[in-house]
Amino acid sequence: MSVFTRILMLLCISLIAHTSPAQAVPHALVLDIQGAIGPAVAEDVHNTLAQAGDAGLVILRMDTPGGLDQSMRKIIQDILASPVPVATFVAPQGARAASAGTYILYASHIAAMSPATNLGAATPVQIGALPKPDIPRSPSVKGSSPETPEESGNPMQHKMVNDATAYIRSLAQLRHRNVEWAELAVRKAASLSADQALKMGVIDLIAQDIPQLLKKVDGRTVSTGNASVTLHTRGMRIETVERNWRSRLLAVISDPNVAYVLMLLGIYGLFFELANPGTILPGVIGGISLLLALFAFQVLPVNYAGLALIFLGIGFMIGEAFVPSFGALGLGGVIAFVAGSVMLMDTGAPGFALSLSLIFAVAACSAAFFILIIGMAIRARLRPVVTGAEEMIGLLGTASEDFDGTGHVLVHGEIWQAVSTVPLTNGQSIRVSNRNGLTLQVDPVQHNNPEALP
């Protein structure tokens, strides 16, 4: 074989080696879930699983007090449909997976916790539920179990608890985890530490951090849909998922307190723009704020009766400034505003309730503004003019001479040229009806009209 042929073969081999697809380096995607489970978190999980692609594992590093049922179910649906295994890791130490976090932990292919963490307290809550009337109960027996939410709630609460129990039992059976304790977590709000959860078969393992988690799950086989996947995670590269701008914006404005303030800014901004056309800035700020608030309310569990009460309260407070109701409209407006604000968020989920201090502060400021400031502005606007040319209209004076048509009058301590349609005599009382430059239009005052006297 000639030298030329050997060189040509080496070049071909090198070209083939460079053009052949490189084997993808296995990696794990890590998404941090901190705080309440809401629409923004659900969207983050959905986007992460959608872009997982060739990832070997998706890790949800969780620390949550719970959240919205609708968002939780969307997350679980995405986990169950994911072809990439999902590990929920309650971390760092001191974190928790309470309420909605417990359901997500049960739904994941791998359930892991750090030391000194806890899970549980998964009883569903709903704001606005009426308490069950007191029913005489037989004396409690020593050692008997405490009253469950089912026993103390109303029929609607029973439905919610039964639905949540069936849901978490199905997840526990799917992942072969402790079914009995899952039911206790819902019916009696039971909680467990990480060590207890591992002993009772609620979770799969305890790990200090993500590298240790990857070592411990290496070689495990999990079911993703209709397929079984064996994990090869030792030495896997770790990539942290960054939230996009839409998720960050949704996370901010879906906070009920932020959405509440945006709604009020929108209402007040548009009110000022309509009251003072051409100001522009209040209208721009109000329009943007109101649209953002409506976007947030679209994904939040809003009670529309509460929203209507807020608008009614604002209307009453504005009416107090225009109608002399001796405080009845203003007081009714404040009561309706506060009641509507308390009712606005139709959920008792942690992290999705309006702050009472914020409600009372906004109600006090709104009442003070509409009732006092706007009222003072309207009263000032209705006062008679005391300066300028318009001040002369309606002033009283006396004729300085006898004249018929044109003459002079004394008004406001000054001699003015005046015109009159009727003859006037010296010293006769007159009233200014109009002004044209330095000439006054005057009319005689009828002294038999008490209101006409100066």
Q: What is the pLDDT of residue 254?
A: 85
The Cα diameter of the chain in Å comes to 141
Q: Which of 14, 140, 152, 159 is catalytic?
A: 159
The Cβ-side half-sphere exposure at 366, using a 13 Å CA radius, reads 31
132 is catalytic: no
Euclidean distance between CA atoms 119 and 198, whole angstroms: 11
CB 233 within 8 A of CB 218: yes
Q: For the domain bounded by 24-131+149-245, which CATH number is listed?
A: 3.90.226.10
Q: What is the pLDDT of residues 274-332, one digit of tens each?
A: 877 888 888 899 999 999 998 888 888 888 899 999 999 988 887 877 776 667 888 88
Residue 245, judged by CB atoms within 10 A of its CB (0-12, 13-18, 19+), counts as: exposed
d(CA 330, CA 39): 37
pLDDT in tens, 25-70: 578 999 999 999 999 999 999 999 998 888 899 999 999 999 888 9
**The CATH homologous superfamily of the domain defined by 389-452:** Nucleic acid-binding proteins (2.40.50.140)
For the chain, give every domain's residue range: 24-131+149-245, 248-382, 389-452
Alpha-carbon gap, residue 33 to 90, rounded angstroms? 10
Instruction: Give the other-Cβ count within 10 Å of 159's Cβ.
Output: 12
- Predicted confidence at residue 279, as pLDDT, reads 80
Coil, strand or helix: which one is 221?
A: strand
Whole-prediction pTM: 0.69
pLDDT band of 146, cuts 50, 70, 90: very low
The per-residue pLDDT for 100 is: 93
| Active-site annotation holds for 159 | yes
Give dist(CA 294, CA 308) in Å, integer: 14
**In the predicted model, what is the mean pLDDT of the chain?**
83
Distances (CA, A) of 318 to 47, 307, 321, 370, 373: 45, 17, 5, 6, 11
Task: Report the pLDDT value the prediction gives residue 159, as an integer from 0 to 100.
Answer: 86
Phi first, then psi, for residue 52 (nearest 5°) are -60, -40
- Residues 82, 99, 366, 420: which is the catalytic one? 99
